[in-house]
Amino acid sequence: MSQFDAIVIGGGVNGLVAGTLLSRRGKNVCIIEKSSRFGGMASYSVDGGPTLAHSLYNLSPRVLSDIGIDPQHPVLSGKPVSTVSLSEDGRHIVFKNEGIFWSEGAKHPESDAWTDLTQQLITYGGLLRQLAEAPPPGGQKAILSRGGLNELLRLAKLGIGLKKLGKSEMRRFLQVILSNVHDIVIDDLPEGPVAGMLAADAIWGSATGPRSPGTVFNLIYRLGHGGNITQPAGGMSALTDLMVEAAQKAGCVLMPETEVSRIVLHDDTVSGVATNNGRTLTAPIVLSNLAPRPTSRMTGPSAFDIEAMRRVRIIRARGTAAKVNLRLKDDATLPGLPSELAHERLIYAPSVEYVEAAFNPVKYRQMSKAPVIEAFKRQTADGANWLSTIVQYAPSDIEGSWTETAKEQLAQITVETLSRALPGLGDQISGIQVITPDQIESATGAPGGHWHHAEMSLDQLLTLRPANGMARYSMGPKGLFQCGAATHPGGDVMGLAGRNAALAALEAQA
């Protein structure tokens, strides 16, 4: 008799979601986490500084209801923030739901064009969301089985949804979906900060530039839940705490500070896990929230076919986003920014060309000298003021490795870049934290520190995610499942990968 019905390795967002869902369906579940904190990348922070993730835009309401969290919970009641594109001349541009405005209040001339384009992409995102909320199509189910019919129905819905767009819209959808964001944006908007903002939103976290194919898909993906950006009340860790609470309420056994050393197999079937402290926990189902490669390391390559291991080791995951947290002096303000905009989402992406140029050095394992930046001003629990920034591009495999000098250079570049639009920012800073992709990898296990564990490119999506032959969350031995961001539909504090994996595990048992 096994101790548990299922064991989840890795207590990040997807692991918590998978475990909680299984628990709520009557399974006896244990979630094992290496560090002392649950929440993975979402809640990882250094010395009480801001967390890695600092906003929500893709959290799935379906996931919340599946794990018993009320979408109206106070933590989630933060109102959507606007995006502010910072400008060197002090005329910042504010992107709101109702259009674009200059920071002094007047309507921006490109407002209508931007709204039209964004709305169109949101419509497409809604269509694709049905694909995200289920395992990717093309399983081996008999078409007349219940699962097979459901799958057919889902695809039919997508088809009908496409049809409903009308002929010219449908044609446009099929035209843009595989395209690059540069071409699509420049068709409708003049080059400049408005176009630059869309280009930036298409490349966060990925090793692509606006001219890379598939970047329109990334932008649509980001807009999959309507495009609203919120911040949980109390920060990201409040959200992950809420998830931990949901897991406990559902009856999950949580094991922090426990590292799994091995997944135990018997006769091509999972029988449990062995931990570093010498314990063996038994269960017929193991869900790994790790990327495929570290997962296969825990079983040993013998458990998989040679072709499967080859696919696993060539999955591309090259993190390009660093986290730079600027500690602000008490009562500091952001110079050059009207105070009512201080708590919005700030980005520095003055044009599509700027974003593309920022991407170029990454190809040669260099950091951007003029990076694209997303920043939030926020207060941590201890009352300290921070400017929490994501700096793109800073590759995980930088030439010469991430030495202290390289980190200092990245910090300096970040401050200099922001100072162009916020002159005098440097004087407001009392300390800097630099968290590079390699550091994210060693802290969370995400390959290359990539926040999707595997690049979201067309060759690694849907039935090819994380790799051909592994798209249905199972992976070789019976009872072994993957539930992490490397699986369909990816990361982004969305939770759908974990949910889909848990449902796949339940289905396999039925």
Partner 1 sequence: MSIFTDPKLGLIPGPFHKRLEEQNRAQNWYDWAGYAAPGVLDSVEFEYFALRNQASLFDISPMHKYRLTGPDTTTMLNRLVTRDIRKIGVSRVGYAIWCDEEGMVIDDGTLFHLGDNDWRLCCQEQMLTWLLDAAWGFDVSVVDETHSIAGLSLQGPTSYAVLEAAGLDVSQLKPFDLAHVDHDLMISRTGFTGDLGYELWCDWDEAEALWDRIWTGGAHQGLRAIGYEALNLARIEAGFLTAGVDFQPVHATERLHRGQTPFELGLGRLVDFNKGHFNGRRELLSKRETPRSLLMRFDVEGFKPSEGSLIYNRRKKEVGHITSGIWSPTAKRNIALAHVRMPDAGRSSGLKAEIYTLQEGKWDTRMARLTPVTKAFFAPPRARATPPAHT
- How does DSSP classify residue 462? G
Cβ atoms within 10 Å, residue 305: 11
Scanning residues 253 to 272, which ones bind partner 1 (CB under 8 A)? 267-268
308 is a site residue for partner 1 (CB under 8 A) = yes
Comparing CB distances to partner 1, the nearer of 35 and 463 is 463
With binding defined as CB under 8 A, does residue 245 bind partner 1? Answer: no
- Determine if 307 is a binding residue for partner 1 (CB under 8 A): yes
116 binds partner 1 (CB under 8 A): no
The number of helix segments (H) and strand segments (E) in the chain equals 16, 16
Q: How far is CA 16 from the centre of its chain?
A: 15
| Distance between CA atoms of residues 274 and 269, nearest Å | 15
Q: Binding of partner 1 at residue 300 (CB under 8 A)?
A: yes
The nearer residue to partner 1, 266 or 363, going by C-beta atoms, is 266
Shortest Cβ distance from residue 272 to partner 1 (Å)? 17
Binding flag, residue 368, partner 1 (CB under 8 A): no
Using CB under 8 A, which of 477, 484, 491, 498 touches partner 1? Answer: 477
Q: Cβ closer to partner 1: 477 or 489?
A: 477
What are the tokens at 106? Answer: 């007047």
φ, ψ for residue 269, nearest 5 deg: -135, 140
Instruction: Pick between residue 109 and residue 300 the one whose CB is nearest to partner 1.
Output: 300
CB closer to partner 1, 1 vs 306? 306
- Give 3-state DSSP helix, strand, coil % of the chain, rounded to 5: 40, 20, 45
Residue that has been written with the tokens 């819905």 in this structure? 157
- Binding test (CB under 8 A) with partner 1, winner from 36, 72, 302, 401: 302
Pair of tokens at residue 105: 């209040």
DSSP string computed for 255-290: ETT--EEEEEEETTEEEEEEETTS-EEE-SEEEE-S
Least distance in Å: CB of 304 to partner 1? 8
Cβ proximity to partner 1: between 269 and 412 the closer is 269
Tally Cβ neighbours within 10 Å of residue 478.
13
Q: Three-state SS across 205-251?
A: CCCCCCCCCCHHHHHHHHCCCCCCEECCCCCHHHHHHHHHHHHHHHC
Give the nearer residue to partner 1 in terms of CB position, either 298 or 347: 298
For residue 470, the minimal CB distance to partner 1 (Å) is 12
Residues 68-87 that bind partner 1 (CB under 8 A): none
Among 256, 469, 507, 508, binds partner 1 (CB under 8 A): 469
Given the structure tokens 């920012």, which residue do they identify? 425
By CB under 8 A, residue 163 contacts partner 1: no
Residue 309 lies near partner 1 (rule: CB under 8 A)? yes
Longest dimension (CA), the chain: 69
Q: Is 55 near partner 1 (CB under 8 A)?
A: no
Rule CB under 8 A: choose which of 305, 399, 427, 459 binds partner 1. Answer: 305
The label of the residue with tokens 């997807």 reads 14
| Given 313, 316, 329, 363, the residue binding partner 1 (CB under 8 A) | 313
| Residue 303 makes contact with partner 1 by CB under 8 A | yes
**Binding status of residue 251 toward partner 1 by CB under 8 A:** no
Q: Does 316 bind partner 1 (CB under 8 A)?
A: no
H helices of 251-390, in order, are 292-299, 306-313, 352-363
Helix H or strand E segment including 188: helix 181-188
Name which of residues 270 to 299 contact partner 1 (CB under 8 A).
296-297
CB of 309 to partner 1, least distance (A): 6
CB of 346 to partner 1, least distance (A): 45
Of 332 and 464, the one with the shorter C-beta distance to partner 1 is: 464
**Beta carbon nearer to partner 1, 251 or 469:** 469
- Prior bond of 335 cis (ω within 30°): no
Q: Give the nearest distance from C-beta 266 to partner 1 in angstroms.
A: 10
In the bound complex, what is the minimum distance in angstroms from residue 396's beta carbon to partner 1?
21
Q: Which stretch binds partner 1 (CB under 8 A): 68-76, 246-254, 300-308, 458-466?
A: 300-308
Asked if 301 touches partner 1 (CB under 8 A), the answer is: yes
Taking CA atoms, 420 is separated from 87, 177, 347, in Å, by 8, 35, 12
Please give the Cα distance from 365 to 406 (Å, whole number): 12
The three-point CA angle 466-145-65 to 5° equals 60
* Residue 177 or 274 with smaller CB distance to partner 1: 274
Q: Determine the interface stretch with partner 1 among 227-235, 305-313, 384-392, 417-425 (rule: CB under 8 A).
A: 305-313
Residue among 90, 82, 138, 146 at smallest CA distance from 114: 82
Q: Which residues bind partner 1 (CB under 8 A)?
A: 267-268, 296-297, 300-310, 313, 469, 476-477
